[in-house]
Amino acid sequence: MTDLYLSAYPALAEQLTKQGIDVEAVKAKLKRQHIETPSWGYGNSGTRFKVFPWPGAARDVHEKLADAAYIHKLTGIAPSVALHIPWDKTDDWNALKQEAASLGVSIGAINPNVFQDQEYKLGSICNPSGAIREQALAHMIECCEIMTKTGSTLLSLWFADGTNYAGQDSVIERKHRLEWGLKELYKHVPANGRMLIEYKFFEPAFYTTDLPDWGTSYAMALKCGDRAQVLVDTGHHPQGTNIPSIVSFLLDEGRLGGFHFNARQYADDDLIVGTTNPFELFVIYHELVTAGDKANEVAYMIDQSHNIEPKLEAMLQSVLNCQVAYAKALIVDRPRLLESQHGGDVLGSHRILTSAYDTDVRPLLAKVREEMGIQPDPIAAYRADGYAAKIAKARGSADGSLGGYPG
């Protein structure tokens, strides 16, 4: 297949050039793509019902870094790894930073965990107890210190806060507590760092959620300051929500901080990126490319926990699906699209977009990888080499979740 894709490249390049696309510029952009993988995607995790131990799943932060480095080696575009605290806590952050660098990756977003301790049963910074709110804040401030020690520039916040029953707590008071907590925390974010506020419309709370949607995250970000932005997790919306339009609004306002990519069919399913929603993923990337420089700082992160599928292959596929979507977005004929839009041509405009989506970009990506000095077909390379078998043998099947989402 690899040869087939590479040999199809000249014809594709010629066709794109005829359409006015600067193929060399497209390739240069593809080589600079950066998708961050999550440490928690490499450890065991499960559903609410069961953790199925995966042979070779990473058992500690060192093994997670090694696996992330392996995905980067195969793809060339996954050079950083997000950490979850305290799951990935270590005594020596400098040593961990060096260890990552020696593996060819860097430490990406720091994710505080204010949902797993017993105290957080009624929430973290929105908890009715002032002492628990302070405890949550102190943990997140510690995460800001970890950012400085690891060289991370992103604090990525997600709260499990909400209520299950009408009248359970004062929604207004919870809003005030949220605002207090975020503003206090913002003071501690390193000067070169950003604070990303994630939202999710339900779960684990089922009646109200304190940060249910992008509008709430956006409003909170405005109250905090310029370096507070919204994080869009593609799995966190009600059915039918138009995510690309949220993306374009936030981009234009300078408040799109980053993504947690995954796919969902029903709720927050955390499936491989682009498996249920390839067109949506493409349109998201189209909005990003269209926004030009306004998208420069956006952080592209994967947020998935694979429970029944091979973890490394699933992560690899996710990175590759982002690459395909980006490549297709880069070959949209934007000048012609704009002209068509201004002329009010409804279907003509739509077709200009779908014509890029319908293009088989696999030859282009094979060429890009060849030029980057990596295997043109990363899935074939993964299946042919012995890394997964080697770690399965060395690590075995551990019990429990070990730094991932428990069942």
Is the Cβ–Cβ distance between 178 and 161 less than 8 Å? yes
One residue of 36, 67, 233, 377 binding ligand AFD per CB under 6 A = 233
Site for Mn ion contains 233 (CB under 5 A): yes
Contact yes or no for 22/380 (Cβ under 8 A)? no
Q: Binds 345, which of ligand AFD, Mn ion, none (CB < 5 to 8 A, cut-off by type)? A: none
Beta bridge partners of 82: 38
210 in contact with ligand AFD (CB under 6 A):
no
CB of 53 to ligand AFD, least distance (A): 20
- Closest by CA to 227, choosing from 248, 258, 268, 196, is 196
Contacts of residue 2, Cβ cutoff 8 Å, sequence gap at least 6: 366, 375, 376, 377, 380
Rounded to a whole number of angstroms, the minimum distance from the CB of residue 268 to ligand AFD is 5
Between 107 and 146, how does the x/- string for binding to Mn ion read (CB under 5 A)? Answer: ----------------------------------------
- Residue 88 as a binder of ligand AFD (CB under 6 A): the answer is no
Residues belonging to the chain: 407
Per CB under 5 A, contacts with Mn ion among 285-344 are 303
User: By C-beta, is 158 or 300 nearer to ligand AFD?
Assistant: 158
111 binds ligand AFD (CB under 6 A): yes
Examine residue 321 and tell whether it contacts ligand AFD (CB under 6 A). no
- Rounded to 10°, the helix 387-395/311-330 angle is 150
Binding-site size, ligand AFD (CB under 6 A): 9
State which of positions 237-296 bind Mn ion (CB under 5 A): 260, 268
Contacts of 385 (CB under 8 A, 6+ apart): none
Alpha helices in 50-188 (DSSP H): 61-75, 93-103, 130-150, 171-186
Residue from 54, 120, 158, 259 binding ligand AFD (CB under 6 A): 158
- What is the 8-class DSSP label of residue 55? T
Joined tokens for residue 25? 């510029």
**Interaction site with ligand AFD (CB under 6 A):** 84, 111, 158, 198, 200, 233, 260, 268, 303
